[in-house]
Amino acid sequence: MDNNLINQHLLAGEIKPQEVLPHWSYLKSLAYKFRFDFGLDKLPQEPGLIFVRGPRQYGKSTWLEQQIAHTIEEFGPGSALYLNGDEILNSAHLLDCIRQLVPMFNPQALVKRLFIDEITAVNQWEKALKRLCDAGELRNILIITTGSKATDLRRGIERLPGRKGKLDRNHYILTPISYREFKHHCQDALKGMTLYAYLLSGGSPIAANAIASNGTLPEYVCTIMSDWILGEFAASMRTRSHLLAVLQGIYLFGGTPLGQAKLARETGLSNNTVAQGYIELLSDLMCIMPAFPYDNDRKISLWRKPCKYHFINLLTAFVWHPKRPRTPIAVKNLAPKDFAIILEWAVAQELWRRLCRDDAAGLPLNFNFWQSKTHEIDFVYQNNTISRYIEVKKGSLSPLNFSWFLKTHPQQNLDVINANRFCTARINGKTLEDFLLEE
Give first-to-last CA distance, the chain, whole Å. 40
Reported as half-sphere exposure (CB side, CA atoms, 13 A), residue 79 has a value of 19
Residue range 90-125, pLDDT digits in tens: 999 999 999 999 999 999 999 999 999 999 888 889
Q: What is the pLDDT of residue 153?
A: 53
Q: How confident is the model at residue 152 (pLDDT cuts 50, 70, 90)?
A: low
Q: Where are the domains of the chain?
A: 3-173, 179-345, 371-437
Reported as half-sphere exposure (CB side, CA atoms, 13 A), residue 118 has a value of 15
- The rounded percent of the chain whose pLDDT value lies above 70 is 95
The least confident of 206-215, 233-242, 356-365 is 356-365
How far CA 97 is from CA of 49, 93, 164, in Å, comes to: 17, 6, 20
Q: What is the pLDDT of residue 144?
A: 96
Say yes or no to pLDDT of 414 above 60: yes
Say yes or no to pLDDT of 427 above 60: yes
Q: How confident is the model at residue 218 (pLDDT cuts 50, 70, 90)?
A: very high
Closest to 119 in 3D by CA, of 96, 142, 158, 91 = 91
Question: Which numeric CATH code is attached to 3-173?
Answer: 3.40.50.300
| Arithmetic mean of pLDDT over the chain | 92
Q: What is the pLDDT of residue 360?
A: 58
Residue range 333-374, pLDDT digits in tens: 999 999 999 999 999 999 999 998 887 556 678 999 999 999
| DSSP character string of 351-365 | HHHHHHHH-TT----
How far CA 301 is from CA of 201, 277, 381, in Å, comes to: 31, 21, 12
Edge-to-edge strand order for the sheet containing 113-117?
Answer: 80-84, 113-117, 142-147, 48-53, 171-173
Closest to 195 in 3D by CA, of 47, 417, 424 = 417
Say yes or no to pLDDT of 145 above 70: yes
Task: State how far the Cα of 406 lies from the Cα of 71, in Å rounded to an integer.
Answer: 54
Say yes or no to pLDDT of 192 above 90: yes
Q: What is the pLDDT of residue 157?
A: 61
Q: What is the pLDDT of residue 383?
A: 66
Closest to 33 in 3D by CA, of 147, 169, 160, 182 = 182
Looking at per-residue pLDDT, the higher value among 166 and 264 belongs to 264
Residue range 400-410, pLDDT digits in tens: 999 999 999 99
Considering the entire predicted model, what is its pTM? 0.92
Say yes or no to pLDDT of 163 above 60: no
Say yes or no to pLDDT of 149 above 80: no
| DSSP character string of 405-418 | HHHH-TT--EEEES
Closest to 284 in 3D by CA, of 251, 238, 319, 326 = 238
